[in-house]
Amino acid sequence: MTGPTPLDPTFTALPYRGLGETALQRARDLGATHADFRFERVRSQVLSARDGVLQGAHDREDLGFAVRVVHRGAWGFASGVVLTPEEAVRVASEAIAVAELSAAMTPAPVELAPEPTHRDVTWVGPCETDPFATPLAEKAEVLIDWTQRLRRGADVDHASAYLLQVHENKYYADTAGTRTTQQRVRVQPGFEAMGTVGDTYDSMASIAPPVARGWEYVAGSTDAGAWDWDAELDEVPELLSEKLRAPGVVAGEHDLVIHPSNLWLTIHESIGHATELDRALGYEASYAGTSFATPDLLGTLQYGSPVMNVTGDRTVEHGLATIGYDDEGVEAQSWDIVRDGVLVGYQLDRAMAAAMPELNDLRSNGCAYADSPGHVPIQRMANVSLQPAPDGPSTEELIGRVERGLYVVGDKSWSIDMQRFNFQFTGQRFFEIRDGELRGQVRDVAYQATTTDFWGSMEAVGGPQTWVLGGAFNCGKAQPGQVASVSHGCPSALFRGVRILNTTDEAGTR
């Protein structure tokens, strides 16, 4: 167990253990070769404020259980919300019936990579103060105050703020004997200032990352992972004023120093999704797309320059995809995806690991996740992160190496093709670099490249002191659609000769 917060007693009072044993026994009696039971309670709350007024507060709770089986070589799945033994029997029986129907349409029997049995283990993510135990009025007061402080800026016409919170409890049991009980809390606070000068409208948002922490992240904490909200609230209106008056960028090739608050999203789209093995094998082709990083290129694809080292990680502290055990009972791990610029690994669940036994010693690396008790677990992204250089330079030192270029801070819009190869990203703030020094902001910037050209142009990565864990709450995948939270850590990094577009010129509006 990690973290000081115990399991929520209102969850442990629920009858999940008895329901699980009943459901698994029914699946065994009907001949399942594998069965697992997952009981979940997912609580979420969203608050939003604008111009000093609370706009809304929304609460939701998703509570229920699911049974998944392998029977006659095929998957079967069913779920329910009535917490009785009779319903557990019915749901298990329905999962078996689904598998019997699916067997005729399953070309090859389902195989699962082996996993050690984890008997009655508990994992609790770090959280000092449960945000759901914090009064709504206190949280609303913080957001309202943020918008009022932002509006003191001379060029700020409107300001908004929001807070997303999730408290997730899961119990997992399977016929192999694994039993896991887990708890995760995650929060995403943010704000944005909007303004107009002449005919120019723009905005400037917080670059604070979402984290797997509690209310202490918003209210203020003294640990190393604290965010200085006061400093950013003072800084953003001034940055917006400068941006509104900034000249448009001159298109062409530029060197880039990219801050982690922007680079995490490029990692997510061009590495994280591209190295999901189900996508690379074509399982997501009808909806989420495929990948240029196909398994035949494993060990030979030059994904980027030799300074590029990327890991998949389900264990990093405060990571949004950090767990103790995944939704197939697999213990969390960390592994290499890109080593010295070469593709060496993928993200795997148990079925994908069985499909490529040469990966990870025929073991899943713990990437199965379902976003609710009503959804089947699918392969989902780990915390995919670019590693810093152990004795690497500071961000200022990277900037000092650039004669003509841009310093990129904060994420904004993005576009990438279905193979995760051709992309275009914008950002919150672009500062011109001349002769190793920052010279002020420019506007209307997008950087464009192919994945391998972009990562191949990376000349240097910063040291551990530049590393930040970014991420998002809203990674979508699958049919029916599911949403997962995931973090991506990275240092500041220097890229040479990247194509820069002036977005206003490209749009033909000037």
Q: Which residues are CB-neighbours of 54 under 8 A, at least 6 positions away?
A: 47, 48, 140, 143, 144
**3-state DSSP call for residue 292?**
coil
- With 60 as the cut, is the pLDDT of residue 2 above it? no
As a whole-number percent, the residues of the chain with pLDDT over 90 amount to 95
Q: Point out the domain boundary residue: 244, 265, 298.
A: 244
Any domain includes 479: yes
Q: Are residues 399 and 423 in the same domain?
A: yes
> Hey, what are 226's tokens?
């604290």
Any domain includes 322: yes
Q: Are residues 271 and 146 in the same domain?
A: no
Q: Which residues are CB-neighbours of 367 under 8 A, at least 6 positions away?
A: 276, 312, 314, 326, 347, 348, 349, 352, 379, 380, 381, 382
Q: Are residues 219 and 261 in the same domain?
A: no
What's the CATH code of the domain at 134? Answer: 3.30.2290.10
> Hey, what are 189's tokens?
């606070």
What tens digit of pLDDT does each residue of 422-475 get? 999 999 999 999 999 999 999 999 999 999 999 999 999 999 999 999 999 999
What tens digit of pLDDT does each residue of 174-212 get? 999 999 999 999 999 999 999 999 999 999 999 999 999
Gap between the Cα atoms of 121 and 112, Å rounded: 22
Q: Are residues 240 and 257 in the same domain?
A: no
Task: Please give the pLDDT value at position 270.
Answer: 98
> Residue 508 — very low, low, confident or very high, per pLDDT cuts 50/70/90?
confident
Better-scored residue on pLDDT, 219 or 332? 332
Any domain includes 1: no
Any domain includes 189: yes
Any domain includes 4: no
Task: Please give the pLDDT value at position 221.
Answer: 63
**3-state DSSP call for residue 408?**
strand
- Averaged pLDDT for residues 6-34: 97
Q: Are residues 402 and 478 in the same domain?
A: yes
On whether the CB atoms of residues 173 and 36 are closer than 8 A, the answer is: yes
Peptide bond into 480 cis (omega under 30): yes
Q: Are residues 318 and 437 in the same domain?
A: yes
Instruction: Tell me which H or E stretch contains 497.
Output: strand 493-502
Q: Are residues 164 and 271 in the same domain?
A: no
Task: Please give the pLDDT value at position 510.
Answer: 58
Any domain includes 307: yes
What tens digit of pLDDT does each residue of 288-343 get? 899 999 999 999 999 999 999 999 999 999 999 999 999 999 999 999 999 999 99
Q: Are residues 318 and 439 in the same domain?
A: yes
Q: Which residues are CB-neighbours of 63 under 8 A, at least 6 positions away?
A: 40, 41, 42, 81, 373
Task: Please give the pLDDT value at position 5.
Answer: 73
Any domain includes 3: no
Better-scored residue on pLDDT, 506 or 458? 458
Task: Please give the pLDDT value at position 3.
Answer: 46
- Please count the structural domains in the chain: 2
> Residue 222 — very low, low, confident or very high, per pLDDT cuts 50/70/90?
low
Average pLDDT of every residue of the chain: 96
Q: Are residues 221 and 257 in the same domain?
A: no
Gap between the Cα atoms of 267 and 260, Å rounded: 10
Q: Point out the domain boundary residue: 244, 261, 294.
A: 244
On whether the CB atoms of residues 31 and 44 are closer than 8 A, the answer is: no
- With 80 as the cut, is the pLDDT of residue 111 above it? yes
Q: Are residues 25 and 138 in the same domain?
A: yes
Q: Are residues 75 and 136 in the same domain?
A: yes
Nearest Cα to Cα of residue 273 among 452, 378, 420, 415: 420
Q: Are residues 104 and 179 in the same domain?
A: yes
What tens digit of pLDDT does each residue of 223-245 get? 656 799 999 999 999 999 999 99
Task: Please give the pLDDT value at position 1.
Answer: 37
Q: Point out the domain boundary residue: 225, 244, 263.
A: 244
- With 80 as the cut, is the pLDDT of residue 509 above it? no
Any domain includes 2: no
What tens digit of pLDDT does each residue of 140-159 get? 999 999 999 999 999 999 99
What tens digit of pLDDT does each residue of 261-290 get? 999 999 999 999 999 999 999 999 998 899
For 78, the domain range is 9-244
